[in-house]
């Protein structure tokens, strides 16, 4: 499933698909507030898409548990498939 | 409707060329497989969207639906469809309100995509979650203002007001049933059809297996309620459809269908990865409600209905029936096909074979389940499959967009997909053991009601194919008509016929003068209105009983009787049944004292057939407005219209009931 792309690149692709915006680029310091169009609904869509792509299950707090994208990326690098 | 936005000029030619190269390379990848993978389809959809080609963007987005049920890809494709606005490939449009007891935002988005895949452009009103009752009952609600054609009640088991254990389970279930059917009534009053989700039961059942034998347990009551909803929906008629979520959840796996984390986090009662499946099934029901179900299944023979090639292996050499797992698998597939036939699907055969070879198993193989008489049209020759399917469509007088094609050979499937894009082609797996399931995944045989006409359809179509052959050698057309010995029964609408009438009103495209899609409640209102002349026509001939095939509604307008709606099934086009209906109408008009008949033709892309219909019966043009033409027939001067070739039996004429007194008489 990893098809050679880095975790960073896979994460970025998910965001681009969910928000239908190829201009989205993610940096380590960014948080949800920096992504245009982010709301509670997109939170669910992004969270679910990440879960299915990386084979992980977040706990009840969902993505809010991560300080920023850097933290999310490190978590996925360690736990994701 | 939004006007097409002008194509954006690319910033520079280099970016344009890069996009073009990317599209070329993706198209090459896509063409390497029969069903291109979801991510390739989505990339193509997004690339075409960037290139400003909305039609191609929508086409590739809908192909994500065929590539599997991946939520993320579906969501991406749904975003492309939403951004592209009006989809050019839609056959029909509908306004749908999604009223949920849980968060339905994603479901509503995916529903739009799934509906577009089956040819329906939806405008969706997604009501706030949990507000379904107020939205339906409050005349000032957003849903009522939206005026939906159809309401989807997306409800879940947690919403049921059933206790864990009831002393009087019968009363508890009855009260709950009324709560839901009252919503159907409210939707009906608002002029909307209903798709009601049934209540999938979650896996956490504290009563365990005991729950199944305790009528008072919530588990048993939920199951009882589902059964009662089925009975109530059957009584309500075709304008209420049930979406059997209990079945879908079981098929999907209940521990995956119910994901408690997403319920607690976002009030998602159905897991996001189950939503594509749910959306596909909902779209199939909506398509059925709109009369877009497919009617005809065209089957290959060798390696599709039996193993081996009869022309080479001989009758004794083909694998069919007990004795080998492969032979049993083909029998199981034939039995599934026959079950579809009993439901109203018309069967045809299209095989590259000598006809005598192809017929031999039907006539002589003891293990054949499908018999020759089950097949409405049998085409075995060496022409291309696309030509044969065209011939079948002509012979049975159905559109290519009513046909589904099944063939074990991927190359034949591809040829048909390319040359006849209107035909749906089922992707069949290599192993015949999976044939029946592969065909069962195809959803457009879904219908909104089961009528006697459905059950008898193959015999009717078969007779029609024979007539098409007879027609070529029948001499004059008059001789042909007389040779058919046609008899019609014309009667006012009644309760037994109304479901079939509503079905015809909902789906008839070609012979349809005004194409007004009245729902069942409106048709019932016409039937009750004493000033309305409403007629149904049944036709039989020497070969077959065609059933109820004509509907006409006329309303008084001064001293003229105006034909509000008139449509006939394409099965009987060219049989002078139109003259029979006008004959009955003109006699009734005279009996009620009207001096003229007025006909209106409101053109649609499919109804060109009847453009000159009124002129042919001696009506004279009386104006044109918004593309619709009005025609007048002077009854007083010209007398009633004749039906020279069809013997009429009329029921409910003015002489045998009491309508003469209260009918609108203008004389």
Over residues B652-661, the pLDDT tens digits come to 875 444 443 3
Least confident of B2-16, B198-212, B407-421: B2-16
Name the domain count of chain A: 1
Do B106 and A52 make contact, defined as CB atoms within 8 angstroms? no
Q: The tokens of B326 are what?
A: 């492969």
Least confident of A36-45, B219-228, B235-244, B637-646: A36-45
Indicate whether B1 pLDDT > 60.
no
Strand stretches in B340-497, DSSP E: 346-352, 375-381, 403-406, 424-425, 486-491
Classified as helix, coil or strand, B344 is: coil
Do A18 and B72 make contact, defined as CB atoms within 8 angstroms? yes
- Residue B468: pLDDT band (50, 70, 90) is low
Average pLDDT over every residue of B436-463: 79
Instruction: Return d(Cα B504, Cα B506) in angstroms, integer.
Output: 5
Residue range B90-289 forms a domain whose CATH class is alpha beta
Tell me if B572 sits within 8 A of B546, measured CB to CB.
yes
Q: What is the DSSP track for B229-266?
A: HHHHHHHH-TTEEEE-HHHHHHHH-HHHH--HHHHHHH
A48 touches chain B (CB under 8 A): yes
CB atoms within 10 A of CB B450: 14
Do A44 and B83 make contact, defined as CB atoms within 8 angstroms? no
Report the residue of A16, A48, A49, A60 to disrupt the B interface, i.e. the one with the largest count of B CBs within 10 Å: A48
- Residue B247: pLDDT band (50, 70, 90) is very high
Q: Average pLDDT, whole number, for chain B?
A: 88
Average pLDDT over every residue of B269-298: 94
Indicate whether B165 pLDDT > 90.
yes
A23 touches chain B (CB under 8 A): no
Q: Which positions ≥6 away from B445 have C-beta within 8 Å?
A: B293, B294, B297, B340, B343, B345, B404
Report the candidate in B1, B4, B116 with the shortest Cα–Cα distance to residue B60.
B116
Long-range CB contacts (within 8 A, 24+) of A54-62: A54/A10, A54/A79, A54/A80, A54/A81, A55/A1, A55/A80, A55/A81, A56/A80, A57/B261, A58/B261, A59/B261, A60/B261, A60/B264, A60/B265, A62/B265
The C-alpha R_g of chain B, in whole angstroms, comes to 27
Q: The tokens of B42 are what?
A: 């989505």
Q: What is the pLDDT of residues B471-516, one digit of tens each?
A: 554 455 676 677 778 899 999 999 888 988 998 898 888 889 999 9
Per-residue pLDDT at B614: 95
Least confident of B45-49, B333-337, B415-419: B415-419
Architecture of B1-87 per CATH?
Answer: Alpha Horseshoe (1.25)
What is the CATH T-level fold of the domain B476-662, as seen in this structure?
Answer: Aminopeptidase (3.40.630)
- Is A2 domain-assigned? no
Report the candidate in B134, B581, B99 with the shortest Cα–Cα distance to residue B111.
B99
Nearest CA in chain A to B272: A48
**Cβ-based burial of B287 (10 A; exposed 0-12, middle 13-18, buried ≥19):** buried
Q: Which positions ≥6 away from B301 have C-beta within 8 Å?
A: B310, B349, B351, B353, B358, B361, B380
Q: What is the pLDDT of residues B426-441, one digit of tens each?
A: 999 999 999 999 999 9
A contacts of B79 (beta carbons < 8 Å): 17-20
Look at the block and give the residue holding tokens 């896996």.
B203
What residues does B92 pair with on adjacent strands?
Answer: B120
Cα B351 to Cα B153, B306, B389, B404: the distances in Å are 44, 12, 10, 15
Instruction: Return d(Cα B437, Cα B447) in angstroms, integer.
Output: 19
B contacts of A44 (beta carbons < 8 Å): 106, 262, 265-266, 268, 272
Average pLDDT over every residue of B612-616: 92
Percent of chain B with pLDDT over 70: 91
Q: How far is CA A16 from the centre of its chain?
A: 10
Per-residue pLDDT at B11: 43
Per-residue pLDDT at B89: 72
Per-residue pLDDT at B6: 39
Per-residue pLDDT at B15: 65
Architecture of B296-440 per CATH?
Answer: 3-Layer(aba) Sandwich (3.40)
Tell me if B629 sits within 8 A of B601, measured CB to CB.
yes
CATH of the domain at A58: 1.10.1200.10
Report the candidate in B490, B494, B501 with the shortest Cα–Cα distance to residue B587.
B490
Question: Same fold for the domain at B90-289 and the one at B296-440?
Answer: yes
- Residue B457: pLDDT band (50, 70, 90) is confident
Percent of chain B with pLDDT over 90: 67
- Is A1 domain-assigned? no
Per-residue pLDDT at B5: 40
Report the candidate in A14, A48, A72, A74 with the shortest Cα–Cα distance to residue B276.
A48
Per-residue pLDDT at B543: 66
SS (H, E, C) B102-141: CCCHHHHHHHHHHHHHCCEEEEEEECCCCCHHHHHHCCCC
Per-residue pLDDT at B573: 72
Instruction: Supply the range of the domain harboring residue A29.
Output: 7-79
ipTM field: 0.82
Nearest CA in chain A to B50: A22
Average pLDDT over every residue of B266-274: 93
Tell me if B159 sits within 8 A of B222, measured CB to CB.
no
Domain segments of chain B as ranges: 1-87, 90-289, 296-440, 476-662
B42 touches chain A (CB under 8 A): yes
Per-residue pLDDT at B452: 62
Do A44 and B76 make contact, defined as CB atoms within 8 angstroms? no
Per-residue pLDDT at B659: 40
- Residue B23: pLDDT band (50, 70, 90) is very high
Q: What is the pLDDT of residues B83-141, one digit of tens each?
A: 887 667 788 899 999 999 999 999 999 999 999 999 999 999 999 888 899 999 888 89
Indicate whether B9 pLDDT > 50.
no
B15 touches chain A (CB under 8 A): no
Q: A68: distance to nearest CA of chain B, Å?
A: 20
Report the candidate in B633, B628, B634, B586 with the shortest Cα–Cα distance to residue B610.
B628
Q: The tokens of B325 are what?
A: 């797992």
Per-residue pLDDT at B299: 98
Per-residue pLDDT at B337: 97
Indicate whether B540 pLDDT > 90.
no
Average pLDDT over every residue of B513-532: 93
Indicate whether B278 pLDDT > 50.
yes
B46 touches chain A (CB under 8 A): yes
Indicate whether B14 pLDDT > 50.
yes
Per-residue pLDDT at B474: 46
- pLDDT string in tens for chain A (81-residue length): 455 678 999 999 898 888 888 888 989 888 888 888 888 888 888 888 999 899 998 887 777 778 888 999 999 999 988
Which phi and psi angles does A72 have, rounded to 5°?
Answer: -60, -45
Per-residue pLDDT at B657: 45
Least confident of B386-390, B571-575, B594-598: B571-575
B272 touches chain A (CB under 8 A): yes
């Amino acid at each position: 499933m990893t098809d050679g792309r880095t975790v960073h690149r896979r994460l970025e692709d998910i965001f681009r698909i969910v928000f239908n915006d190829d201009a989205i680029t993610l940096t380590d310091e960014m948080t949800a507030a920096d992504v245009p169009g982010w709301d509670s609904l997109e939170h669910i869509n992004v969270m679910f898409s990440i879960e299915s792509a990386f084979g992980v299950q977040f706990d009840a707090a969902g993505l809010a548990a991560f300080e920023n994208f850097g933290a999310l990326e490190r978590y996925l690098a360690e736990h994701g498939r | 409707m939004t006007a097409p936005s002008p194509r954006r000029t690319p910033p520079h030619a280099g970016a344009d060329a890069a996009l073009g190269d990317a599209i070329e390379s993706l198209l090459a990848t896509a063409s390497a497989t029969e069903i291109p993978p979801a991510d390739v389809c989505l990339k193509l959809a997004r690339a075409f969207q960037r290139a400003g080609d909305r039609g191609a963007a929508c086409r590739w987005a809908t192909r994500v639906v065929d590539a599997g049920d991946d939520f993320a890809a579906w969501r991406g494709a749904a975003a492309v469809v939403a951004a592209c606005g009006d989809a050019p490939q839609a056959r029909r449009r509908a306004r749908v309100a999604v009223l949920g007891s849980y968060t339905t935002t994603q479901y509503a988005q995916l529903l739009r995509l799934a509906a577009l895949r089956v040819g329906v452009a939806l405008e969706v009103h997604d009501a706030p979650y949990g507000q379904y009752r107020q939205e339906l009952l409050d005349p000032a609600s957003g849903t009522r203002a939206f005026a939906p054609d159809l309401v989807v009640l997306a409800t879940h088991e947690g919403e049921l007001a059933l206790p864990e254990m009831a002393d009087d389970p019968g009363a508890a279930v009855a009260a709950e049933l009324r709560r839901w059917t009252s919503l159907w009534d409210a939707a009906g009053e608002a002029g909307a059809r209903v798709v009601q989700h049934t209540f999938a039961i979650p896996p956490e059942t504290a009563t365990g297996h005991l729950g199944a034998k305790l009528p008072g347990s919530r588990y048993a009551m939920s199951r009882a309620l589902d059964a009662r909803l089925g009975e109530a929906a059957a009584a309500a008629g075709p304008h209420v459809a049930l979406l059997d979520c209990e079945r879908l959840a079981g098929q999907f796996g209940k521990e995956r269908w119910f994901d408690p984390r997403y319920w607690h986090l976002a009030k998602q009662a159905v897991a996001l990865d189950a939503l594509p499946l749910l959306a596909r099934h909902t779209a199939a029901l909506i398509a059925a409600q709109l009369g877009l179900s497919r009617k005809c299944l065209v089957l290959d023979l060798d390696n599709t209905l039996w193993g081996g090639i009869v022309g080479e292996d001989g009758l004794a050499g083909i694998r069919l029936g007990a004795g080998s797992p492969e032979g049993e698998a083909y029998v199981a597939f034939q039995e599934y096909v026959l079950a579809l036939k009993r439901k109203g699907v018309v069967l045809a055969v299209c095989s590259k074979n000598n006809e005598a070879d192809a017929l031999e198993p039907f006539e002589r193989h003891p293990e054949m389940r499908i018999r020759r008489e089950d097949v409405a049209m049998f085409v075995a020759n060496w022409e291309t499959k696309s030509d044969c399917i065209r011939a079948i469509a002509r012979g049975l007088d159905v559109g290519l967009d009513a046909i589904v094609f099944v063939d074990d050979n991927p190359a034949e499937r591809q040829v048909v997909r390319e040359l006849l894009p209107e035909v749906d082609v089922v992707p069949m797996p290599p192993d015949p053991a999976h044939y029946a399931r592969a065909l069962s995944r195809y959803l457009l045989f879904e219908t909104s009601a089961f009528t006697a006409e459905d059950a008898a359809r193959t015999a009717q179509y078969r007779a029609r194919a024979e007539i098409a052959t007879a027609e070529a050698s029948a001499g004059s057309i008059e001789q042909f008509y007389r040779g058919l010995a046609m008899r019609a029964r014309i009667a006012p609408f009644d309760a037994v016929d109304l479901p079939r009438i509503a079905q015809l009103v909902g789906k008839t495209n070609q012979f349809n003068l005004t194409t007004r899609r009245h729902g069942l409640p409106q048709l019932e209102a016409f039937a009750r209105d004493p000033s309305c002349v409403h007629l149904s026509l049944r036709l039989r001939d020497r070969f077959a009983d065609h059933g109820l095939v004509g509907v006409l509604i006329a309303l008084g307008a001064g001293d003229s009787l105006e034909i509000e709606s008139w449509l006939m099934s394409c099965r009987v086009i060219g049989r002078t049944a139109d003259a029979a209906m006008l004959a009955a109408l003109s006699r009734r008009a005279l009996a009620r004292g009207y001096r003229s008949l007025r006909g209106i033709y409101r053109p649609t892309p499919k109804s060109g057939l009847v453009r000159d219909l009124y002129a042919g019966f001696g009506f004279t043009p009386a104006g044109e407005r918004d593309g619709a033409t009005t025609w007048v027939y002077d009854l007083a001067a010209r007398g009633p219209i004749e039906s020279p070739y069809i013997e009429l039996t009329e029921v409910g004429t003015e002489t045998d009931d009491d309508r003469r007194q209260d009918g609108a008489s203008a004389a």
